[in-house]
């Protein structure tokens, strides 16, 4: 079904055919807009932004570009086309037809998954709301706003499911998605990373590389869901997600490129001299990476989780690309897990179903490594010996078995006191943050870049890099 843009809420779910649902969502719409005005991008409401909007869910329609003011963006409900004759691909219901309604016994865990997913979307917009004021270029400013409007749409995607399939509870949850706020001491967002402040662009690029990538893995596992409307909506969200991770990967590559230019010109990788030239030194880059990677690892939940086991068993949440596996039930399969034990480790065999969070996390780590390989090729070519690395998954964890002990980035355990003493070597210190903040100067001349970042290799949608991607009012 094509997207109907003549409706107040653009959609491809025949919203007009269900008056009660349409009214309920039209009632929620002004609340969303109020939230956007209050907690979306600070200022810039009058700016014309070169944005991508979906006009169809197929390859031809999902990326249509034009100039839009953000408050006029057409947030809507877009589901990937239904696959005919889709069957459940994993768990106890393997091979049964997928569900178009929520089975009563799974209502509450399914709602919890949808609410948790939905909560992250507006959280990220809240986290990023001040960044427009210190964007390193108009190109980057546009990318930030593109991500922000799409995360707003991802909230719509989950709110649609809550309204359409969860009755009164769903409507209440939809209200609460606008009432919790990132970093709010009384009503914080659900997951840890989404309460961390993002007030500089190095953090934004780390977040879009590492945290949006958690989004990719979670969405991919929800795209396998037996609940077909959830599978279809997350499938379409994944097409938008690719750009968010692109911004992270290329943003970080551009930071490194600029740093390497400075290091080459000076013939030295001395952090103080790199900083003196207005670029981000590699140790600081590595500490930001350590922070956002370890925080994002927590988003997968505990290594051993009965929630994860029942989500898999009941067909609510599968594994990314479930078709790659041969055993889709995982009834007897086990998983070897290294646990901390008296300063060392011991291996425990746990049921595969209970280890699903760890299965996802491991796939995620492998995906994260690809970017590091590319960045390290830049470092290699520059002739310097330094490399960037992913810290051990045991480092700086707040969730799961490794949260009980302190480890250094190599994974070696140390005392809490020792960790405290050395943590500024491994995580951004107050002075790192002050330095990075000091670099964040706004650049608004088309084609110009802040001194700490190299220009992108190409513009958006084949436009020039010096195209005026945002026309400031
Ligand atoms: N922080 O059995 P456990 C995205 C809680 S990102 C705080 O270990 P479970 C995006 C957990 O909620 C993708 N709390 O874990 C990216 C539970 O609490 P309750 C977001 C945490 O349930 C960038 C308790 O600990 N999508 O889209 O197996 C920009 C014990 O739970 C954390 C999803 O996450 C944490 N890090 O798995 C914009 C998918 N981790 O219920 C957007 C939906 C765990 O006992 N969510 N807890 O009070 C899920 O699949 C699961 O809820 C989780 C946790 C994987 C998050
Ligand atoms: Fe999202
Ligand atoms: Fe995203």
Per residue in 166-207, pLDDT (tens digit) is 999 999 999 999 999 999 999 999 999 999 999 999 999 999
The mean pLDDT value for 374-399 works out to 98
DSSP 105: G
Question: What is the bridge-based pairing of β-strands 413-414 and 64-69?
Answer: unpaired
Rg (CA), the chain: 23
How many CB atoms are closer than 10 A to CB 209? 26
61 class by beta-carbon count within 10 Å (0-12 exposed, 13-18 middle, 19+ buried): middle
CA 361 to ligand 2 centroid distance, Å: 18
Contacts of 384 (CB under 8 A, 6+ apart): 260, 263, 269
pLDDT at 354 exceeding the cut of 80 = yes
pLDDT at 3 exceeding the cut of 90 = no
Helix, strand, or coil (residue 433): helix
| Enclosing domain of residue 337 | 15-471
Within-domain flag for 115: yes
Q: For residue range 282-328, what is the model confidence (pLDDT) as tens digits?
A: 999 999 999 999 999 999 999 999 999 999 999 999 999 999 999 99
Within-domain flag for 6: no
**What order of strands is seen across the sheet that includes strand 48-53?**
64-69, 48-53, 470-471
pTM as predicted: 0.98
pLDDT confidence of residue 473: 81
Within-domain flag for 8: no
pLDDT at 58 exceeding the cut of 90 = no
Within-domain flag for 3: no
- 363: nearest Cα among 154, 220, 208: 220
CA 134 to ligand 1 centroid distance, Å: 31
pLDDT at 2 exceeding the cut of 90 = no
Contacts of 340 (CB under 8 A, 6+ apart): 394, 401, 402, 404, 405, 413
Share of the chain above pLDDT 70, in %: 100
Q: For residue range 420-452, what is the model confidence (pLDDT) as tens digits?
A: 999 999 999 999 999 999 999 999 999 999 999
pLDDT at 368 exceeding the cut of 80 = yes
Name the band, by pLDDT with cuts 50, 70 and 90, for residue 405: very high
Pocket of ligand 1, candidates 118, 125, 191, 212: which has the most ligand atoms within 8 Å of its Cβ, to mutate?
191
Within-domain flag for 7: no
pLDDT at 62 exceeding the cut of 90 = no
CA 241 to ligand 2 centroid distance, Å: 6
- Taken as a whole, the chain contains a residue count of 473
Regarding the beta carbon of 230 and ligand 1, being less than 6 Å apart is answered no
Name the band, by pLDDT with cuts 50, 70 and 90, for residue 106: very high
pLDDT confidence of residue 60: 75
- List Cα–Cα distances, 334 to 35, 107, 271, in angstroms: 45, 28, 46
Q: For residue range 211-250, what is the model confidence (pLDDT) as tens digits?
A: 999 999 999 999 999 999 999 999 999 999 999 999 999 9
Element holding 327 (H helix, E strand):
none
The shares of helix, strand and coil residues in the chain, as percent rounded to the nearest 5, are: 55, 10, 40
pLDDT at 273 exceeding the cut of 80 = yes
Name the band, by pLDDT with cuts 50, 70 and 90, for residue 364: very high
CA 80 to ligand 3 centroid distance, Å: 17
Tokens of 6: 């003549």
Pocket of ligand 1, candidates 219, 307, 398: which has the most ligand atoms within 8 Å of its Cβ, to mutate?
307
Within-domain flag for 89: yes
Contacts of 32 (CB under 8 A, 6+ apart): 75, 152, 155, 156, 159, 178
Asked whether the beta carbons of 49 and 70 are under 8 A apart, the reply is yes
Within-domain flag for 102: yes
Q: Which residue has the tokens 């997913």?
A: 117
Regarding the beta carbon of 296 and ligand 1, being less than 6 Å apart is answered no
Share of the chain above pLDDT 90, in %: 96
User: Mean of the per-residue pLDDT values for the chain?
Assistant: 97
**Strand spans (E) along 352-459:** 406-407, 413-414
Regarding the beta carbon of 300 and ligand 1, being less than 6 Å apart is answered yes
Count the domains in the chain: 1
Beta bridge partners of 52: 65
pLDDT at 18 exceeding the cut of 90 = yes
Name the band, by pLDDT with cuts 50, 70 and 90, for residue 330: very high
Regarding the beta carbon of 188 and ligand 1, being less than 6 Å apart is answered no
Cα–Cα distance between 12 and 10 in angstroms, integer? 7
Within-domain flag for 42: yes
pLDDT confidence of residue 208: 98
Angle at 377 between CA 374 and CA 382, to 5 degrees: 140
Q: State the CATH number of the domain containing residue 283.
A: 1.10.620.20
Q: Which residue has the tokens 């190299």?
A: 454
Alpha helices, DSSP H only, in 199-281? 201-206, 212-222, 228-266, 271-276
The mean pLDDT value for 117-125 works out to 98
pLDDT at 61 exceeding the cut of 90 = no
CA 164 to ligand 1 centroid distance, Å: 23
Name the band, by pLDDT with cuts 50, 70 and 90, for residue 345: very high
- Range with lowest mean pLDDT among 50-59, 379-388, 460-469: 50-59
């Amino acid at each position: 079904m094509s997207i109907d843009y003549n409706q107040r809420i653009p959609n491809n779910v025949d919203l007009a055919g269900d008056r009660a649902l349409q009214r309920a969502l039209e009632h929620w719409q002004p609340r969303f807009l109020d939230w956007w005005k209050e907690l979306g991008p600070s200022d810039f409401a009058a700016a014309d932004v070169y944005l991508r909007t979906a006009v169809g869910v197929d390859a031809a329609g999902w990326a249509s570009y034009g100039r839009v003011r953000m408050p006029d963006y057409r947030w809507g409900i877009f589901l990937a086309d239904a696959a005919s004759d889709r069957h459940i691909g994993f768990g106890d219901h393997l091979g049964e037809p997928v569900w178009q309604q929520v089975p009563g016994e799974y209502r509450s865990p399914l709602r919890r998954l949808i609410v948790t997913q939905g909560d992250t979307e507006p959280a990220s917009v809240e986290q990023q709301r001040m960044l427009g004021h210190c964007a390193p270029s108009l190109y980057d400013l546009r990318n930030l706003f593109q991500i922000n409007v799409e995360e707003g749409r991802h909230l719509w995607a989950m709110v649609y499911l809550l309204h359409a399939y969860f009755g009164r509870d769903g409507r209440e949850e939809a209200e609460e998605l606008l009432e919790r706020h990132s970093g709010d001491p009384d009503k914080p967002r659900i997951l840890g990373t989404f309460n961390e402040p993002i007030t500089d662009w190095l953090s934004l690029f780390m977040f879009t590389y590492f945290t949006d990538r958690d989004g990719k893995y979670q969405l991919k596992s929800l795209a396998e869901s037996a609940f077909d409307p959830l599978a279809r909506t997350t499938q379409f969200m994944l097409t938008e997600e690719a750009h968010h991770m692109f911004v992270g990967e290329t943003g970080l590559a551009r930071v490194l490129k600029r740093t390497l230019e400075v290091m080459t010109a000076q013939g030295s990788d001395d952090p103080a001299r790199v900083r003196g030239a207005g670029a981000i030194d590699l140790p600081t880059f590595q500490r930001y990476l350590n922070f956002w990677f370890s925080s994002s690892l927590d988003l997968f939940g505990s290594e051993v989780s009965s929630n994860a086991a029942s989500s898999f068993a009941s067909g609510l949440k599968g594994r990314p690309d479930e078709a790659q596996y041969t055993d889709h039930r995982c009834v007897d399969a086990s998983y070897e897990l290294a646990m901390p034990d008296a300063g060392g480790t011991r291996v425990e065999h746990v049921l595969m179903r209970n280890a699903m969070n760890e299965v996802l996390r491991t796939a995620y780590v492998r995906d994260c490594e690809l970017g590091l390989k590319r960045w390290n090729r830049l470092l290699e070519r520059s002739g310097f010996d330094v490399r960037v690395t992913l810290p051990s998954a045991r480092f700086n964890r707040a969730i799961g078995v490794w949260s009980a002990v302190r480890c250094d980035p190599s994974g070696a355990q140390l005392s809490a006191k020792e960790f405290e003493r050395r943590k500024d070597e491994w995580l951004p210190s107050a002075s790192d943050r002050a330095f990075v903040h000091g670099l964040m100067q706004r650049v608004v001349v088309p084609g110009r870049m802040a001194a700490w970042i190299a220009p992108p290799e190409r513009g958006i949608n084949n436009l020039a890099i010096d195209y005026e991607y945002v026309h400031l009012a």
